[in-house]
Amino acid sequence: MATYKKKGYKPKTKVEKEHSIEEGSTTAEVFNTLDETASKTEDFVAKNQKYIFIVIGLVALVVLGSLGYKEFISKPKQEAAMNDMFQAQKYFNDAVNGVEKDSLYNLALNGGEGKFGMLDIIEEYSGTPSANLANYYAGTAYLRLKDYKNAIEYLSDFKSDDEILAPLAKGNIGDAFVQLNQPEDALGYYEQAAEMRNNEYTTPMYLFKAGTTALDLGQADKALNYFKRIKDDYSNSTEASKVEVFIGKAQVLANK
């Protein structure tokens, strides 16, 4: 049964007295240890407070600097980039939908009417999301203008997690390599583009391009696999409507 000592209790026997002394000694040791630890901590702080304050100040400076940069530099810079990019985007969109494509793509790249082009945005607003997006526009414009090396350079600088733009950028690099007569490189980029996202637009499109390129390279088994994936998994896609013919070709070549 548990026992406790009443307030004012005094040990009566020798054993109780010795036990009481031991308890007091142990308690004293604990408090002494705590006092010593606290004292050492105080001494450390006293000796190193200059450096501690410096470290605290640096941490605060980094945090405040980061917040300040985002609020007063990065955010206004991005807003300015978006404003300056508007006309270049309009030229690009007009080129996609218009008739004077080459001149409009050039205007999208180099600017016009006193407005920035995509190349100006990339240089002037480096590090902003707009400059990153401008790499995509610039690379695609160069591809349409048949400047394939510049197309590859700018598209390679574009980084995105977007469902559509990310695979389109990779696929466009593949298109550029096809035009440069480098089908092995093209196949690699088509495969990357097909695997980056899973949707009804870019996935079957780049599976089909990967398949036809593999077929041209004599890789019939690989091509057949890509064509069958289109038939089985993307039956509603545009590519599915013509893939049966290519499945037949790949099967014939694979069995040779």
Handedness of CA 161, 179, 207, 254 (dihedral sign): negative
More confident residue, 28 or 153: 153
The Cα–Cα gap between 125 and 134 comes to 10
pLDDT at 18 exceeding the cut of 90: no
- What mean pLDDT do residues 115-129 have? 94
Check residue 39 and give its pLDDT. Answer: 59
| Terminal Cα-to-Cα distance of the chain (whole angstroms) | 92
At 115, phi and psi to the nearest 5?
-105, 155
pLDDT at 194 exceeding the cut of 70: yes
Check residue 42 and give its pLDDT. Answer: 58
- What mean pLDDT do residues 227-236 have? 97
Interval 28-75: pLDDT, tens = 454 455 455 555 555 655 555 555 445 554 555 454 444 444 444 456
Interval 157-186: pLDDT, tens = 999 999 999 999 999 999 999 999 999 999
Partner residues linked to 115 by β-bridges: 112
